[in-house]
Chains A and B, each alone.
Chain A
Amino acid sequence: MAALPSYEPGSRARAFLDRIQTAKYDRQIVNGLQKFFDGSLPEEMRSLYSHDELEALKALRGTPRDVEKRMPVKVTRHYFELVRNSRALQALIKARPAETDDLEGAPDPGRQMEYSPVEGMIHKYELALLYVASTCSAHCRFCYREELIAKKEIIRPDGTVAPKGLADVGGVVTYIVKHNEEVALAGGRHPLTRREKLREVLLSGGDPMVLSNANLGTWLSALAEAGIEQIRIGTKELAFFPARFDSTFFDMLDKFHEAYPGIALRMMVHFNHPDEFLVKSADGSYTADPDGGLVWVSETKRAVKEFAKRNWITIDNQAPIIRGINNDPDALRIMQRELRRNRIENHYFFCGRDIIGHRAFNVPIEEAWRVLNESQKGLSGVEGHARLSITHYKGKTEVVAVTNEPLAGVPGGQSGVIIFKLLRSAKDAPLKGKVAIAGRNPEAIWFSGYADRVIFDELGLFTEYIEIARKQRTAASELTESLV
């Protein structure tokens, strides 16, 4: 591998970095099932799994169905305390043998490696994504980056095989500066991709909030110096360990804002269920706040208020709808209302991706649409405008509507139709806004479930899946013939 250009902060960045305070955090993480098996945990934490559950998981160790090989087990003390009184959060954090019943799925969901110009960077849309950490404080079982977290080997477009690596500041800055120079020279559009200047970058992983303030500050200032105008931080730390958002962190942000006042920060947070941020009584009910709304977990509320105070920072929530966790209209209605009331926008809800083992987690696409649609009944327009998106390798695709009435005279439409629209498309978004319509299949958990009932497809959403289905039919009929 060629040596990456090293990064040396300039004088403005250096002055900012020298003023960052660091703090230490005691997340009290439990990592791996071993400590549950050997009982070396505090008594109350051992109770997360029953004896029978542990025996079933133990029996899979070292086999191809080992749940920890698919996705390592990890939880913080803070999240454990929330989980104790929540079946939904137990489904999010506890490993189950069913996760490895069916290991079908894409080794690299979304085909990110086809859009990776530099290690650890995905430049697919107008926005670029960086892997800056390969772990989180705790692990969602349904994680769609399981290949990164579990450090699985991925086949690259050039045929080499290696785990996904992390982004390096020097390599990323060099790429951005060069890309934007090429755009400027060509008069505002990149000569090959027709993209505009790269203005927005998402720090992702893993969770960037596991990094130290100094490490985060290095990313923020390096991206600002490279010409990035909006920086996103994708994090679930408000749910897993809100104490991470302490005074030293906000002090770092304030100093960054002093040094780079033109840069906007977009916190992309991840709450799946209101049990992750609301105080819940033993009988399972939430508590009305005399000042309005419901009572929040104090540490989480404090962190959200600190973000909301700063007018250069926005907060958006996005979350997948996962079976047994939040395929519950009432929970989602409460969540959307409470988030918006506290200055957090409801951005996207997602259908589960085709990760390895996705059959254990995914809600049928039509059911996810129904759940979100039901949840938004009773919400005002500003509370309930989040869309349902499913990530096709061509781009983020909205599930616009599912109809219940037959579409008269249209073959495939006898039981109603499902309508998709492409929200985002790679490079200069040539397919944005295009639509596909298919006959309903209430069982479908991925695009392949509609391959035999496509009615209209102006964006090629189903082309590849129809071809795969045709090959499977041919192979099956050849097999039948050879048996006869």
Chain B
Amino acid sequence: MTFVVVEGCILCKHTDCVSECPVDCFYEGPNFLVIHPDECIDCGLCVPVCPEKAIYQDTKVPPEQSAFIDLNRELAQAWVPITKKKASLPDASKWSGVPAKLKYLERKT
């Protein structure tokens, strides 16, 4: 019923998706973005604009990233909405494509 942001976004957070989203359903943490599953209308506009290819339809999330489906729901309830694009994180290019970034996720806003 929704699209899901996965690990590739962590420590990059380019926010191109935010300016595409027609319903403003992205929520922002210190180094990661999530999609609120009840607000997403499944249009898929965010998928092609993500430089990290880190957004999937919930039914197509790679199995090793499936924990992000619940994580998006949980963090969307804790974090604040983001409605305008901002600069990528300073070390985005360094972290781009680096595997196993979940351990760096900062939950506190």
Contacts and interface: CB of A to CB of B under 8 A. Distances in A.
Q: Do these two chains interact?
A: yes
Interface of A: 22, 24-32, 34-35, 74, 133-135, 137, 151, 166, 206, 210-212, 214-215
Given A22-B24, A24-B36, A212-B22, A135 B41 contact: yes
B22 A34 contact: no
Among A24, A26, A166, the one with the most B-chain Cβ atoms within 10 Å of its Cβ is: A24
Contacts of A215: 22, 24
7 contacts: A24-B39, A28-B1, A31-B42, A31-B57, A151-B44, A211-B22, A211-B23
B38 A26 contact: yes
Contact of B38 (A28, A135, A214): A28
Contacts of B38: 24, 26-28
Given A24-B36, A212-B23, A215-B22, A32 B59 contact: yes
Contact of A30 (B1, B22, B24): B1
Top 10 nearest A-B pairs (CB, nearest first) are A135-B43, A31-B42, A34-B59, A26-B38, A211-B22, A210-B41, A212-B24, A24-B39, A29-B1, A133-B22
B98 interface: no
Nearest to A216: B22
Q: How large is the interface on B (under 10, 10 to 19, 20 to 34, 35 or more residues)?
A: 10 to 19
A137 B38 CA distance: 12
A237 to B, nearest CB: 11
Nearest to A76: B41
A35 B1 CA distance: 9
B1 A133 contact: no
A74 B42 contact: yes
Contacts of B43: 133-135, 206, 210
Given A29-B42, A34-B59, 4 more contacts: A27-B41, A30-B1, A166-B45, A214-B83
Contacts of A151: 44
A230 B38 CA distance: 34
Contacts of B2: 31
Among B24, B57, B83, the one with the most A-chain Cβ atoms within 10 Å of its Cβ is: B24
A453 to B, nearest CB: 44
Contacts of B25: 24
DSSP majority for the B interface? loop
A399 to B, nearest CB: 35
B26 to A, nearest CB: 12
A135 B59 contact: no
Given A31-B1, A32-B59, A211-B23, A26 B39 contact: yes
Contacts of B36: 24
Contacts of A134: 43, 45
A424 B106 CA distance: 59
Contacts of A210: 22-23, 41, 43
Interface in B8-62: 22-25, 36, 38-39, 41-45, 57, 59
A32 B57 contact: yes
Contacts of A24: 25, 36, 38-39
Interface string B69-94: 00000000000000100000000000
A215 B24 CA distance: 9
Contacts of B42: 29, 31, 74, 135
A25 B45 CA distance: 19
Among A30, A31, A133, the one with the most B-chain Cβ atoms within 10 Å of its Cβ is: A31
A259 B23 CA distance: 24
Nearest to A40: B59
B71 to A, nearest CB: 18
B41 A35 contact: no
Nearest to A27: B41
A28 B40 CA distance: 9
Nearest to A31: B42
A157 B105 CA distance: 48
A220 to B, nearest CB: 15
B2 to A, nearest CB: 8
Nearest to A32: B59
Given A32-B57, A134-B45, A25 B39 contact: yes
B43 to A, nearest CB: 4
A4 to B, nearest CB: 13
A25 to B, nearest CB: 7
Contacts of B1: 28-31, 35
A25 B42 CA distance: 13
A35 B59 contact: yes
A37 to B, nearest CB: 10
A104 B95 CA distance: 48
B106 to A, nearest CB: 24
A210 B41 CA distance: 8
Contacts of B44: 135, 151
B105 to A, nearest CB: 24
Contacts of A137: 41
B48 to A, nearest CB: 9
A35 B60 CA distance: 12
Contact of A29 (B24, B41, B83): B41
Nearest to A34: B59
